[in-house]
Amino acid sequence: MYKRIDLTRCLGALGLAAAICGGWALPALAQDVVRVQFQSGATGTTVNGTIVGREYRDYVLSAQAGQTMIASLEVTATNGHGSAFFNILPAGQDFPALYNGSTDDDRRAEVELPESGDWAIRVYLMGNDRDADRTVGYSIDVSIAAGGGSQAGASGGGNTMRVTGVPANDVLNVRSGPGTGNRVVGALANGDSVRLLGCEDVGSSRWCEIEMMTDMGARGWVNARYLQ
Kindly state whether residues 137 and 185 are assigned to the same domain: no
Q: Which domain holds residue 39?
A: 32-145
What torsion do the CA atoms of 61, 106, 207, 140 make, to the nearest 10 degrees? 40
What would the pLDDT profile of 196-227 be if each residue is shown by its tens digit? Answer: 888 888 887 888 888 887 655 678 899 988 88
Q: The domain spanning residue 173 has which CATH number?
A: 2.30.30.40
Q: The domain spanning residue 81 has which CATH number?
A: 2.60.120.380
The residues near 81 (Cβ < 8 Å, ≥ 6 apart) are: 127, 128, 129, 134
Q: Do 123 and 51 touch, CB atoms closer than 8 A? A: yes
Kindly state whether residues 64 and 116 are assigned to the same domain: yes
Confidence at 7, pLDDT banded by 50, 70, 90: very low
* Number of domain units in the chain: 2
Please say which residue of 145, 171, 201 terminates a domain. Answer: 145
40 or 170: which leads in pLDDT: 170
The residues near 41 (Cβ < 8 Å, ≥ 6 apart) are: none
The residues near 28 (Cβ < 8 Å, ≥ 6 apart) are: 17, 18
Find how far residue 113's CA is from the centre of its chain: 14
What would the pLDDT profile of 119-163 be if each residue is shown by its tens digit? Answer: 999 999 999 999 999 999 999 999 887 644 333 333 333 477 888
What would the pLDDT profile of 73-103 be if each residue is shown by its tens digit? Answer: 999 999 999 999 999 999 999 889 999 998 8
d(CA 216, CA 228): 21
> pTM here?
0.55
